[in-house]
Amino acid sequence: MPTPESRIAELTELIDRYNYEYYMNDNSLVSDFEFDALLRELIDLEKQYPQFALPTSPTKRVGGEVNKSFKQVAHRFPMLSLGNTYSIEEIEEFEARTRKSLDGTHFSYTCELKYDGVAIGLPYRNGVLVQAVTRGNGTVGDDITANARTIPTIPLRLKGDFPDDFEARGEVVYPFQAFEAMNRQREAEGDEPFANPRNAASGSLKLQDSAECAKRKLLFCMYFMMMDDQQAATSAGRFLTHSSRLDAARDMGFLVQPYIKECNDISDIKFFIDFWDKERWNLPFAIDGVVIKVNQTDLWNQLGTTAKSPRWAIAYKFKAERVSTPLLHITYQVGRTGIVTPVANMQPVALGGTTVRRATLCNADFMRNLDIHYGDSLLVEKGGEIIPKIVGVDLDKRLPDSPAIPFTYVCPECGTPLVRADGEAGFYCPNQDGCLPQILGRLELFVSRKAMNIDSLGSERLRMLYDAGLVTNVADLYSLRRDQLVGLQKVDETDEVDEVSQLRNSINSQLPSTSKAYQLQNSKTSSTSIQEKGADNILSALQKSKQVPFPRVLFALGIRYLGEVGAKKLARYFGNIDALMNANVMELAMVEDIGNVTAEAVYDYFAKPEHRLIIQRLRDAGLQFQMTETRVSNILQGVTIVVSGVFEHFSREEIKASIEQHGGKAAGSISSKTTYLLAGDKMGPEKLKKAEKLGVKIISESEYLELIHS
């Protein structure tokens, strides 16, 4: 029998190796199932024997640490940026200037990809990751260690030989495939999609919940090893050129680009640039240029730096590719919340490795500013991102006397005149309850994972239920019967189910279930018809959803502007739906994170009798419309705590909820009945004075945590 200590060490080794092989070499040594089992075993052992858990344990990658605010830390070596240019002439000048300064010294350049992501610095001491810091202003950045640890290509401890003190620099990128999958999921769940992979990478590193960051499939691409000259002089010349440093880094376990190329003159450099300008679209992540560096690190000091950037390196940035193509027609898309988005349908054109046919025209203002006329050709650009952008009209090709194209004034789906909210750039269709994409969009949001999590109802089935006249709003879902579901099939849009097939269906529905083999086959029976098992799954998922807690039910209603966080805050603040429905705009806007626009949208939603009816029906069906007491312990029984300031692990609302979950009382002001003042950062001086005067004990966040875990 291994001891817990040796088993922890063994599992740590094993999981590290599997991770490395998987992420670096695309090599699965074990099944996912086996991997998860090992990880689970390690998590459990570490929980039981925390004294043996290694600080670099792969369990740290699962996340779970909460970042309340990101600590600011100073960079040991400033994080300089690079001089950059779009012009080949300036690259020629850089090369000539460098050669002149080095005056006959033998040297070479390295050319490598310039990643379009977020730069971070990773100091390592004795082979162990110490911290992860964003660039910030170059001198001070944000400590994002908890999130960075979840990125599989950031080694928590290094392999082989490494300098005992150095900093790895590189870029966190969001690979296209994972980015698109994440954005699709966000849209399905009612979240705003990210504009491009770089923003998504940056947003992910700033997530408060590192477990959430662990789910984003980020990559860390290492491109630079920062160390002082003394360190560089050790280790038999391994660190005397940039390219050999990167080779060494690869051996230590970093992900380093294989494309780096040593170049001796300007023609080699130009070849590298031209090659990647075209080939970049075939990479799995975005690059926005090429970086050229002097390879010999001892020459760096000689060349020196300007105020902002080193003289021994330069970045060549790719120009966005731009084409002109005729506009065929404009269509209008209606979203879940009724927002109408114009879309340009264009003559297909090759751009940046793909064929572009459609691109968004964003909103009415964007379209008007472009001033598009009938018969125009549009200028379409593709930068480092995947999404083509319309940047203008090709005026050379405008037809004489062609009139401007107006924005549509009716909903393309339901014909309702569009309205424009004050101060908004776009129009929307106000026919919330009668406009198909809005109805279906709301149903889709309701069943989505972050809302009611009814995964046996996807968008196709919701459409079937709608077409069959069974479901037009979320409350209808809870009136569904098994016999209505079984045999339900997709209506062919072009070809209505005819009388004969309806008759067949009705005969089928009267057959005893033991005679299933005799069911009449409709020629049009679609593969998407709902079978008995499917019907049971739907009904049991609906049943299960009745346990979904109030905050998620509130989010699931799809109230305009009310996201997950806002719904949580409102639910906690008001405690139940009645209090929430009776609140006025001012009271709603008092709640943390609820702005005026959201407060008004919530108020308007509940002001409508048809919405109140839906709430009533959902309530009758047994959904959760009040906060349930989730009592965790009685450890704070009889204890009254006043909370003040900001905290590292909790928001104020969360800490109050935690006090109540442990049987205590969270009070607003200090009195002689107060047991503790729980003091966070930036606490008001008044409270402190009063607590001291009344002799109320002051505790910190960590003392509070100790208290409830004791």
Residues that are catalytic: 114
> Cα–Cα distance between 477 and 621 in angstroms, integer?
10
Q: Cite the DSSP H helix spans in 253-318.
A: 266-279, 298-303
> Cα–Cα distance between 496 and 477 in angstroms, integer?
24
Q: What's the min distance (Å) between Cβ of 290 and ligand IVH?
A: 8
When binding is defined by CB under 6 A, the residue of 11, 53, 54, 82 that contacts ligand IVH is: 82
When binding is defined by CB under 6 A, the residue of 20, 94, 107, 115 that contacts ligand IVH is: 115
112 is a contact residue toward ligand IVH (CB under 6 A): yes
In the numeric block, which tokens belong to residue 103?
A: 């005056």
Stretch that binds ligand IVH, among 113-121, 428-436, 599-607, 627-635 (CB under 6 A): 113-121
Looking at beta carbons only, is 263 or 291 nearer to ligand IVH? Answer: 291
What residues between 224 and 263 interact with ligand IVH by CB under 6 A?
224
78 is a contact residue toward ligand IVH (CB under 6 A): no
In the numeric block, which tokens belong to residue 20?
A: 């490395």
Looking at beta carbons only, is 46 or 167 nearer to ligand IVH? Answer: 167
Looking at beta carbons only, is 312 or 466 nearer to ligand IVH? Answer: 312
Looking at beta carbons only, is 38 or 273 nearer to ligand IVH? Answer: 273
87 is a contact residue toward ligand IVH (CB under 6 A): no
Closest by Cα among 295, 335, 326 to 313? 295
What residues between 268 and 327 interact with ligand IVH by CB under 6 A?
291, 310, 313, 315
Looking at beta carbons only, is 79 or 615 nearer to ligand IVH? Answer: 79
Please answer whether residues 690 and 667 qualify as being in contact, where contact means their C-beta atoms are separated by less than 8 angstroms: no
Q: What's the min distance (Å) between Cβ of 286 and ligand IVH?
A: 11
Looking at beta carbons only, is 9 or 299 nearer to ligand IVH? Answer: 299
Please answer whether residues 390 and 351 qualify as being in contact, where contact means their C-beta atoms are separated by less than 8 angstroms: no
Please answer whether residues 43 and 59 qualify as being in contact, where contact means their C-beta atoms are separated by less than 8 angstroms: yes
Closest by Cα among 121, 130, 151 to 56? 130
Half-sphere exposure of 605 (CA within 13 A, CB side): 22
Neighbouring-strand partners of residue 360: 343
Looking at beta carbons only, is 113 or 591 nearer to ligand IVH? Answer: 113
370 is a contact residue toward ligand IVH (CB under 6 A): no
Where are any strands of DSSP class E within 611-672? 640-644, 665-667
Looking at beta carbons only, is 20 or 115 nearer to ligand IVH? Answer: 115
Number of H helices, E strands in the chain: 26, 23
Please answer whether residues 170 and 123 qualify as being in contact, where contact means their C-beta atoms are separated by less than 8 angstroms: no
> Cα–Cα distance between 460 and 471 in angstroms, integer?
13
Stretch that binds ligand IVH, among 74-82, 145-153, 179-187, 229-237 (CB under 6 A): 74-82
> Cα–Cα distance between 172 and 198 in angstroms, integer?
9
| Residue 586 burial (10 A CB sphere; 0-12, 13-18, 19+) | exposed
Q: What angle do CA 440, 446, 449 make, to 5 degrees?
A: 120
Stretch that binds ligand IVH, among 112-120, 243-251, 644-652, 695-703 (CB under 6 A): 112-120
Q: What's the min distance (Å) between Cβ of 143 and ligand IVH?
A: 18
Stretch that binds ligand IVH, among 79-87, 152-160, 269-277, 480-488 (CB under 6 A): 79-87
81 is a contact residue toward ligand IVH (CB under 6 A): yes
CB atoms within 10 A of CB 162: 22
Stretch that binds ligand IVH, among 76-84, 87-95, 485-493, 522-530 (CB under 6 A): 76-84
223 is a contact residue toward ligand IVH (CB under 6 A): yes
Mask: binding to ligand IVH, 118-157, rule CB under 6 A, as x and -? -x--------------------------------------
When binding is defined by CB under 6 A, the residue of 14, 43, 80, 541 that contacts ligand IVH is: 80
The DSSP annotation for 181-222 comes to HHHHHHHHTTPPPPSSHHHHHHHHHT-SBHHHHHHS--EEEE
Looking at beta carbons only, is 2 or 284 nearer to ligand IVH? Answer: 284
Please answer whether residues 615 and 626 qualify as being in contact, where contact means their C-beta atoms are separated by less than 8 angstroms: no
Q: What's the min distance (Å) between Cβ of 109 and ligand IVH?
A: 13
Please answer whether residues 193 and 454 qualify as being in contact, where contact means their C-beta atoms are separated by less than 8 angstroms: no
Q: What's the min distance (Å) between Cβ of 120 and ligand IVH?
A: 9
The DSSP annotation for 366-407 comes to HHHHHT-BTT-EEEEEE-SSSS-EEEEE-GGGPPTTPPBPPP
- Please give the size of the binding site for ligand IVH, defined by CB under 6 A: 16
Stretch that binds ligand IVH, among 80-88, 122-130, 636-644, 647-655 (CB under 6 A): 80-88
Mask: binding to ligand IVH, 165-204, rule CB under 6 A, as x and -? ------x---------------------------------
> Which residues of this chain interact with ligand IVH, rule CB under 6 A?
80-82, 84, 112-115, 119, 171, 223-224, 291, 310, 313, 315
